[in-house]
């Protein structure tokens, strides 16, 4: 899944990542536009430090990404029908482990970040009753064909603010991919085993990868 991993780089580079006081969270399109620029600016500004110490990417992800991602909702979507078979404690432990796993995964793929260009879908009027919105982003890279991404965002009915929870890359959903990847273990070993596995994966150090081996 090299293409999907490459697309994850762009997921982390583009959406839902910025300082809270500069983002209009009530408009998913404007939020995407603002955070993409802010994210590129930060990654470029800290490029040298990141090259020396890739572990810094964990902090960047935690500080800039997590506030704009509904990790609990995403985790529950990954659990799917297995969710009903868990206790509140098990669910909380899974969400925590899933969050740490996302931080590590996002930090790792960000080690491959380069200065790709992007084209974000123009703002559209969103009906007040709409709860889910997909925002299209096209990745433009001189070394690869253009790639279409659709970022899925969900509106919080209490605050009317939008949060990301999934990305569809060339028709492939991140949530669906993780459901397929972990569904067998969830059925046979249970949520506790998957939670333990996620903790182990999250603990692995962040290392720069040789792009020649991609």
Could you tell me which residue, 9 or 35, shows the higher pLDDT?
35
pLDDT at 116: 67
Across 35-39, 158-162, 201-205, least confident range: 35-39
Q: Which pLDDT belongs to residue 144?
A: 76
| Sign for the pseudo-dihedral over CA of 45, 49, 50, 55 | negative
Pairwise CA distance, residues 5 & 7, whole Å: 5
Mean pLDDT of 109-120: 72
pLDDT bin (cut points 50, 70, 90) of residue 63 is confident
Express each pLDDT in 68-83 by its tens digit. Answer: 889 999 999 999 999 9
Residue 184 vs residue 62, higher pLDDT = 184
Q: What percent of the chain has pLDDT above 70?
A: 81
In the chain, what are the domains?
A: 28-203 (3.10.450.710)
* Higher local confidence (pLDDT), 140 or 17: 140
Pair of tokens at residue 77: 């979507």
Give the residue carrying structure tokens 């935690």.
Answer: 62
Report how many helices (DSSP H) and strands (DSSP E) the chain contains, helices first: 8, 5
Mean pLDDT lowest among 2-6, 34-38, 110-114, 120-124: 2-6
Q: Report the pLDDT value the prediction gives residue 10, as an integer from 0 to 100.
A: 47
Task: Let me know: does 68 contact 35? Beta carbons within 8 Å.
Answer: yes
DSSP 64: I
What's the pTM value of the predicted model, to 2 decimals?
A: 0.78
Average pLDDT rounded to a whole number, residues 163-186: 89
CA distance linking residue 86 with residue 81, whole number of Å: 10
Q: What is the dihedral of CA 61, 65, 70, 72, to 10 degrees?
A: 10
Beta bridge partners of 147: 139
Does residue 209 register a pLDDT over 80?
no
Give residue 27's pLDDT: 92
Which pLDDT does position 93 carry in this prediction? 98
Contacts of 142 (CB under 8 A, 6+ apart): none
């Amino acid at each position: 899944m090299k293409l999907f991993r490459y697309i994850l780089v762009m997921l982390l580079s583009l959406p839902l990542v910025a300082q809270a006081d500069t983002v209009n969270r009530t408009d998913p399109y404007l939020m995407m536009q603002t955070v993409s620029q802010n994210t590129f600016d930060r990654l470029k500004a800290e490029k040298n430090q990141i090259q020396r110490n890739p572990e810094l990417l964990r902090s960047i992800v935690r500080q800039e990404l997590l506030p704009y991602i509904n990790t609990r909702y995403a985790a529950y979507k990954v659990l799917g029908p297995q969710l009903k078979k868990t206790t509140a404690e098990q669910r909380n432990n899974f969400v925590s482990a899933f969050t740490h796993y996302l931080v590590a995964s996002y930090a790792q793929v960000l080690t491959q970040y380069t200065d790709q260009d992007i084209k974000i879908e123009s703002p559209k009027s969103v009906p007040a009753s709409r709860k889910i919105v997909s925002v299209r982003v096209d990745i433009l890279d001189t070394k690869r064909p253009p790639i279409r991404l659709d970022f899925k965002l969900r509106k919080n009915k209490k605050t009317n603010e939008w949060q990301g929870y999934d990305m569809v890359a060339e028709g492939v959903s991140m949530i669906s991919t993780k459901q397929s990847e972990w569904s067998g273990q969830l059925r046979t070993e249970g949520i506790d085993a998957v939670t333990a596995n996620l903790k182990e994966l999250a603990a692995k150090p962040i290392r720069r990868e040789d792009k020649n081996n991609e």
